[in-house]
């Protein structure tokens, strides 16, 4: 059994103390039989995380074990997927982070409703927004600052500043950062990838960009807390937003960015090799000026894909007459081979999505894309898009099966009247309970 050196020392000391106490107390009696350590570990891996967090106070042995990478990996392998939906609620001018309860018995492929009853809010989140949820780890960002929050253990760490960045030290209002979490499966390490960018020199009326790329290892005392610079030969670029990102199997990170001449590109980062590349986009994929059509990056069955869908200008536009979407899927990353198909909703599906403007919020394990309703306003004059508060306190999402071209509505019930608000948004869904010590 492979333990860390520190854990092995604690185990040996704890066993020695236990044997001495047994001899002192029970010299004249038959000593009670101890539970084999392997059996104890097996029992612990089947307990809920809340119980494990309490059991850390039993002894140094248990605390070291439960916080170890060995136990965290074992727990994740043994435990069943427990899907949870995460949401932001705006209440009394404050953001409240809530989720549904995790349940191994929940069948996501057929569910029609969820109950939001878990308040995950902590004071340190104030002023931050969620940019990503991955393997139970949330990334909070506030301009150049970032925090990682473990939704299972409720542990939160503030990421160190990138002291060696030549962009962040400048007093430049155009500077922007993008943070994303991924996993290096070869070395079993969680990493945070960061792109820092700012405006460069103008070429006529065109804007150029300057960018840097950094990586930080997560894992508490066992890893370095310094950012490493990642050299790149690709064109300097600026990520479009913190939310136009997709993580494929933990390893490949994809995001949309803007280069010189305002050209849109797809950028990829490999969490294992730490290489940055710019895959070629489909030839018939056009971004601007195609409003009121929006194109978002999504994951579909372990592949990166683009979803082309309508955005509506006026209340009541919606998918009343016809809903046509187009999807492009990367079939082969090495050869940049893309496939595409046009999807037309069946008339029976129209009542499901009528009067809705939808935006992707991730993909569930079964391959369905989560589409969250948005109160989007689009101006034909300025070509600007704004997102306002919802017009209803009723919360819901749509799960869209691209392969079957089928969409279903999943209602979200709030367990407390305190959660009733028109200011809400869906973050996404995650099904991993992670005991990793940050």
- Domain spans of the chain? 37-73, 80-430
CATH of domain 80-430: 2.120.10
- How does strand 176-184 pair with strand 94-100? unpaired
Query: Please, where are the H alpha helices in 26-160?
Result: 37-44, 49-55, 60-67, 69-78
Question: Are the C-beta atoms of 193 and 215 separated by less than 8 Å?
Answer: yes
Q: Determine the Cα–Cα distance for residues 182 and 271; give it in Å rounded to an integer.
A: 6
At residue 375, the pLDDT reads 73
At residue 292, the pLDDT reads 46
3-state class percentages of the chain: helix first, strand second, coil last, to nearest 5: 15, 40, 45
**Tokens standing for residue 272:** 């294992």
Question: DSSP code of 369?
Answer: E
Q: Which helix (H) or strand (E) holds 24?
A: helix 5-25
Cα dihedral 2→80→434→193 (10° resolution): 100
Q: Which residues are bridge partners to 350 per DSSP?
A: none
Strand, helix or coil at 11? Answer: helix
| Best CA proximity match to 156, nearest among 208, 218, 110, 103 | 218
pLDDT digits (tens, 9 = 90+) for 372-429: 887 766 666 655 666 666 767 788 898 988 888 888 889 998 888 888 888 888 898 9
At residue 374, the pLDDT reads 78
pLDDT digits (tens, 9 = 90+) for 171-186: 888 899 999 999 999 9
Beta strands in 291-353 (DSSP E): 293-300, 303-310, 324-332, 337-344
> What totals of helices (H) and strands (E) does the chain contain, helices first?
6, 27
Q: Determine the Cα–Cα distance for residues 238 and 217; give it in Å rounded to an integer.
A: 23
Strand, helix or coil at 21? Answer: helix
78-81 — which CB contacts under 8 Å span 24+ positions? 78/45, 78/46, 79/45, 79/104, 79/433, 80/104, 81/365, 81/431, 81/432
Indicate the pTM of the whole model: 0.84
pLDDT of 356 over the 70 cut: no
Instruction: Phi first, then psi: give them for residue 130, nearest 5 degrees.
Output: -85, 130
Q: Could you tell me the pLDDT band of residue 225, with boundaries at 50, 70 and 90?
A: confident
**Tokens standing for residue 213:** 């790329």
At residue 378, the pLDDT reads 60
Mean pLDDT score of the chain = 82
pLDDT of 27 over the 90 cut: no
Longest Cα separation, the chain: 94
Tell which wins on pLDDT, 392 or 321. 392
Q: Could you tell me the pLDDT band of residue 270, with boundaries at 50, 70 and 90?
A: very high
Strand, helix or coil at 395? Answer: strand
Please compute the mean of the pLDDT values over residues 139-153 and round it to a whole number.
Answer: 92
Q: Is the dihedral of CA 174, 131, 75, 399 positive or negative?
A: negative
Highest mean pLDDT among 12-26, 28-42, 171-185, 235-249: 171-185
DSSP string, 204-248: TTEEEEEEEEEEEE-SGGGS--S-EE----SPP-EES-TTSEEEE
């Amino acid at each position: 059994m492979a333990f860390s050196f520190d854990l092995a020392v604690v185990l040996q000391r704890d066993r020695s103390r236990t044997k001495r106490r047994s001899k002192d107390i029970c010299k004249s009696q038959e000593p009670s039989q101890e539970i084999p350590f392997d059996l104890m570990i097996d029992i612990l891996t089947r307990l809920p995380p809340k119980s494990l967090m309490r059991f850390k106070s039993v002894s140094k042995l248990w605390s070291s074990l439960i916080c170890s990478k060995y136990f965290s990996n074992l727990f994740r392998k043994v435990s069943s997927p427990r899907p949870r939906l995460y949401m932001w609620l705006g209440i009394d001018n404050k953001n409240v982070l809530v989720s549904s309860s995790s349940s191994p018995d929940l069948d996501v492929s057929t569910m029609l409703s969820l109950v939001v009853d878990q308040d995950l809010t902590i004071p340190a989140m104030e002023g931050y927004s969620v940019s990503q949820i991955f393997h139970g780890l949330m990334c909070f960002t506030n301009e150049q600052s970032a925090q990682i929050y473990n939704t299972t253990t409720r542990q939160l760490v503030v990421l160190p500043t990138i002291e060696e960045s030549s962009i962040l030290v400048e007093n430049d209002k155009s500077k922007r950062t993008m943070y994303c979490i991924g996993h290096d499966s070869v070395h079993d390490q969680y990493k945070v990838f960061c792109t820092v960018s700012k405006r460069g020199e103008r070429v006529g009326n065109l804007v150029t960009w300057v960018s840097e790329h950094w990586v930080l290892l997560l894992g508490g005392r066992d890893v370095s807390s310094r950012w490493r610079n990642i050299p790149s030969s690709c064109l300097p670029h600026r990520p479009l937003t913190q939310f136009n990102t997709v993580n494929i199997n933990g390893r490949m990170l994809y995001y949309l960015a803007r280069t010189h001449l305002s050209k849109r590109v797809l950028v990829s980062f490999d969490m294992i090799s730490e290489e940055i590349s710019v895959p070629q986009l489909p030839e018939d994929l056009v971004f601007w000026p195609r409003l009121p059509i929006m194109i978002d990056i999504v994951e579909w069955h372990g592949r990166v894909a683009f979803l082309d869908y309508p955005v509506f200008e006026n209340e009541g536009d919606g998918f009343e007459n016809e809903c046509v979407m187009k999807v492009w899927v990367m079939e082969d990353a090495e050869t940049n081979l893309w496939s595409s198909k046009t999807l037309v909703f069946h008339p029976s599906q129209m009542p499901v999505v009528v009067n809705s403007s939808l935006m992707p919020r991730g993909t569930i394990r079964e391959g369905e894309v989560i589409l969250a309703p948005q109160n989007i306003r689009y101006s034909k004059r300025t070509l600007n898009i704004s997102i306002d508060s919802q017009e209803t306190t009723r919360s819901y999402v749509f799960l869209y099966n691209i392969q079957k071209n089928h969409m279903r509505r999943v209602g979200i019930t709030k367990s407390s009247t305190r959660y009733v608000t028109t200011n809400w948004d869906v973050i996404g869904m995650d099904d991993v309970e992670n005991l990793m010590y940050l």
